[in-house]
Amino acid sequence: MRCVFGGTFNVLHEGHKTVIKNALKFCDELIIGLSTDEFAKAYGHKKVRPFEERKKDLEEFLRSLGVKYEIVPLDDIFGPALRDDVDALIATEEVIMNAIAVNRRRRSEGKKEIPIIVFPLVRNGRKISASDLIEG
């Protein structure tokens, strides 16, 4: 099963890694939409590491898992989730509304909805956040 997952991955932290590892319990392949620098800033991220640095970190992690993957630039909340070759959408509880919007858009384009697999946020007393990690 091919699953799609999107994010900025400004700092690839344990929360991201846990969601990816859990997604692999359902998916044989991940298609990851990685926010472009412009989209990340427009989405509200103040300090964003360059796209290529974030992509490199993500690739190294995915290679270490031995998983089949594809990383594509993400310019909006829809990205690769609108493709016909995906079977499910991975989301955290924080972005479930985006996942619902993806299926709404798919319907409006005459495509079938895809199942949404939702994972809780990984917490260490509170939500793990790349912004918090960057700010110390």
User: Order of strands, edge to edge, in the sheet holding 88-92?
Assistant: 68-74, 29-35, 2-7, 88-92, 116-119
Kindly report the CATH class assigned to 2-135. Answer: alpha beta
Which residue do the tokens 């859990």 mark? 22
pLDDT tens for residues 34-44? Answer: 999 999 999 78
pLDDT tens for residues 73-111? Answer: 999 999 999 999 999 999 999 899 999 999 999 999 999
pLDDT tens for residues 42-64? Answer: 978 788 999 999 999 999 999 99
Residues of the chain with pLDDT > 70, as a percent, come to 90
Domain spans in the chain, listed from the N-terminal domain onward: 2-135
| pTM, entire model | 0.85
